[in-house]
Amino acid sequence: MKFLTFSEDNQLLAQMITFLRSRGEVDAATSSDRDMPIEYGAGVVYALRGNAQYDSISAALKNLFESSGYDAVVIASTVLGREVAGHLSVGIGSDVAPELSSLEFKDGKAITKRWGYGGKTVIEETWNARVFTLLPGITDAEKNGSESTLKDIQLGDSRVEIISEEPKNLGGGNLESAKIIVSVGRGLGKKEGIEVAQKLADAVGGEIAGSRPVCLDYQWLSEDRQVGLSGKKVKPKVYIALGISGQIQHIAGMRGSKIVIAINKDKSAPIFEESDYGIVGDLYQVAPKLTEKLAA
């Protein structure tokens, strides 16, 4: 197999090169110029220059695909990556196997795994497709002592024009490797409640995380601290959920935790079905007591 892999995020691209290099030959394309992933085993790393939007990137990948005899294009599942994958799939007359947590090839078919029904099930499928999107974190990036050739490609025009850019305030914590995570939900009720959770996290040397509404809607925490189907997939030794109802899209991000502890005032909250230990009570009463006893 000969793969072309793309991401606008070079950390994800390094993961994908690492993942694909044991499955065949890999070239990579990136639209970022920070930390070029040239030590992970890609033959060529193409630097896409210009207005990198889904349409201009798709056109460049289509050119490479058609001129260089790749068997498959593997794209990191990000907002931009998914747009590129959909667009490119029409361009090269293929289907896309999307949102994969596992990808193997056998007898010309792809054997894949992805979530079904918002995370309720795992679907195992075989695909006849040339385009694939892989979930972030498909494997850890590992250098392999090689060095890729760098080539520049000038992107063509895009129909999307950037008016302005707004950098985000990202927390920078590393949830994926955290041993203990204290995760907060809408049950917190107010931004000031974060302090209560932070104290508990500090007492146990853990990281703080949150559900989607907490990170995206209310912005009580930075967006990179969201756990779930559309956020980070975490696997700490202990996951402490404060005021999180346990909707399936949240569970999909923390199912890999060794021990789950939930505090929720609603006895029938679905989070208790996914917990090892649960305390039915008000987080503002329970969490400070926990902090006190754990700090002692």
Partner 1 sequence: MVDIIVLVKQMHDLEQIKPDPSTGEPMLEKSPFKMETISENAVEAAVQLKEKYGGKVTALLFGNSDAGQIMKKAYAMGCDDGYVITEYTGNNHFYTSQVLAEKIKTIKHDLILLGNQSADSVTGMLAGRLSAILGEPVLGNAVSIEIEGEDAKIKRVLEKNNYYVKTHLPAIISVTQEINEPRLPPVMRIMQAGRKPINSEKTTVQEIKNFTVVSNKAPISERKKLIFEDVDKGIEEVVKVIKEEMR
Ligand X SMILES: Cc1cc2nc3c(=O)[nH]c(=O)nc-3n(C[C@H](O)[C@H](O)[C@H](O)COP(=O)(O)OP(=O)(O)OC[C@H]3O[C@@H](n4cnc5c(N)ncnc54)[C@H](O)[C@@H]3O)c2cc1C
Distance in angstroms (rounded) separating the CA atoms of residues 212 and 193: 16
Give the SS3 label for residue 90.
Answer: helix
Which listed residue (88, 134, 197, 283) binds ligand X by CB under 6 A? 283
Instruction: Please tell me whether residue 78 binds ligand X under the rule CB under 6 A.
Output: no
Instruction: Please tell me whether residue 161 binds partner 1 under the rule CB under 8 A.
Output: yes
Instruction: Please tell me whether residue 78 binds partner 1 under the rule CB under 8 A.
Output: yes
Write the CA distances from 288 to 39, 192, 207, 245, integer angstroms.
47, 14, 17, 20
Least separation in angstroms between CB 294 and partner 1: 6
The interface with partner 1 within residues 219-248 (CB under 8 A) comprises: 223-224, 229-230, 237-238, 240, 247-248
The item of partner 1, ligand X, none sharing an interface with residue 50, based on CB under 5 to 8 Å by kind, is: none
* Greatest Cα-to-Cα distance within the chain, rounded to the nearest angstrom: 65
The interface with ligand X within residues 130-149 (CB under 6 A) comprises: none
| 137 burial level (CB within 10 Å; 0-12, 13-18, 19+) | middle
Q: What is the secondary structure of 40-88 as a DSSP string?
A: SS-SEEEEEES---HHHHHHHHHHHHHHHT-SEEEEE-SHHHHHHHHHH
The interface with partner 1 within residues 91-150 (CB under 8 A) comprises: 91, 95-99, 111, 115-118, 120-129, 133
Which listed residue (82, 199, 255, 265) binds ligand X by CB under 6 A? 265
The interface with ligand X within residues 192-211 (CB under 6 A) comprises: 211
Nearer to partner 1, 148 or 283 (CB): 283
Instruction: Please tell me whether residue 243 binds ligand X under the rule CB under 6 A.
Output: yes
Instruction: Please tell me whether residue 28 binds ligand X under the rule CB under 6 A.
Output: no
The residue nearest ligand X at its CB is 228
Strand 207-210 relative to strand 96-100, pairing: unpaired
Lay out the site mask for partner 1 across 27-56 (x = CB under 8 A, - = otherwise): --------------------------xxx-
Amino acid at 25: E
Instruction: Please tell me whether residue 228 binds ligand X under the rule CB under 6 A.
Output: yes
Least separation in angstroms between CB 166 and partner 1: 4
Buried b (16+ CB within 10 A) or exposed e, 72-93: bbbbbbeebbbbbbbbbbebee
The interface with partner 1 within residues 169-228 (CB under 8 A) comprises: 170, 179-180, 204-205, 212, 216-217, 223-224
CA dihedral 100→103→105→110, nearest 10 degrees, is -20
Q: For ligand X, which stretch binds (CB under 6 A), given 51-59, 125-133, 167-175, 226-234?
A: 226-234
Q: For ligand X, which stretch binds (CB under 6 A), given 15-23, 93-101, 107-115, 181-189?
A: 181-189
Distance in angstroms (rounded) separating the CA atoms of residues 32 and 48: 8
Q: Which two tokens stand for residue 28?
A: 């990579």
The item of ligand X, partner 1, none sharing an interface with residue 269, based on CB under 5 to 8 Å by kind, is: ligand X
CA dihedral 125→129→131→132, nearest 10 degrees, is 10
Which residues bind to ligand X, rule: CB under 6 A? Answer: 185-187, 189, 211-214, 226-231, 243-245, 247, 249-250, 253, 263-266, 269, 282-284
